[in-house]
Amino acid sequence: MKNLKNLPTEQQFKEIDAVAQKLGMPKPAERPVIQILPGESDGRKVLELKRGSWSDEQPWFVIDEEGRLLVLSTAESMMGIMNSLQHMGEEVFKARLERAIAKELPIDFHDVWVVAMHELQQRLKEGAAAAQSLDLETLVKSIKRRHPNLFYSLKDLQLGDEEEG
């Protein structure tokens, strides 16, 4: 992101609109743009509305005194974003765990899932460091070593090794 401090106003708006589009905001040109200007003392600043209105339209784009672009939004909106990111992270985690389990040829996927989740809960109880350094493929392989009855074995499948008689 460019520093907006020395750009002409129209170029600032183009940069801000590009950010708004990347964030998926409809009608980026209607978003309020505010600039923070020096005030009469260090404890006071002046906010100048450069575009839009002092409406409830969220979020507001703010250009600080150093020319950095800030996004000002409600706490409710930020909580929604954080919840979405958390949900997305959970979905990615589940997909990674599903792939790790499927690679090891489970007999009953659900049984392996339950064992893996139990082990993950145990590691979380041990501490965040144990959970953060977790490799899901290694976890599933260790489950396979301890509980081979939950997985197919290639020798059990007898792929092409049968004697015809």
Same domain, residue pair 13 and 61: yes
Q: Write out the two tokens for 121.
A: 């809960």
Same domain, residue pair 66 and 105: no
CA 17/CA 1 separation, integer angstroms: 12
Q: Is residue 65 part of a domain?
A: yes
Last residue of a domain, one of 73, 96, 115: 73
Same domain, residue pair 98 and 65: no
Question: One-letter amino acid identity for 46?
Answer: V
Q: Is residue 80 part of a domain?
A: no
CA distances from 5 to 12, 15, 22, 52, 102 (A): 8, 12, 21, 19, 53
Same domain, residue pair 93 and 50: no
Strand partners for 37: 46
Last residue of a domain, one of 73, 105, 127: 73
59 prior amide bond cis, ω within 30: yes
Same domain, residue pair 46 and 107: no
Same domain, residue pair 15 and 47: yes
Cβ atoms of residues 97 and 133 within 8 Å: no
Residue 120 sits at the vertex; the CA angle it makes with 116 and 121, to the nearest 5 degrees, is 120
Q: Domain range for residue 91?
A: 86-156
Same domain, residue pair 149 and 93: yes
Same domain, residue pair 18 and 62: yes
CA 49/CA 8 separation, integer angstroms: 16
CA 131/CA 43 separation, integer angstroms: 44
The per-residue pLDDT for 165 is 46
The per-residue pLDDT for 83 is 94
The per-residue pLDDT for 129 is 63
Total number of domains constituting the chain: 2
Same domain, residue pair 47 and 97: no
Q: Is residue 60 part of a domain?
A: yes
Same domain, residue pair 94 and 147: yes
Q: Is residue 79 part of a domain?
A: no
Same domain, residue pair 151 and 90: yes
- pLDDT 10s digit of each residue in the chain, 165 long? 778 888 888 899 999 999 988 888 888 788 899 999 998 898 999 999 999 888 777 789 999 999 999 999 889 988 998 999 999 999 999 999 999 999 999 999 999 999 999 998 888 888 766 566 678 999 999 999 999 999 988 776 665 555 554
The per-residue pLDDT for 131 is 61
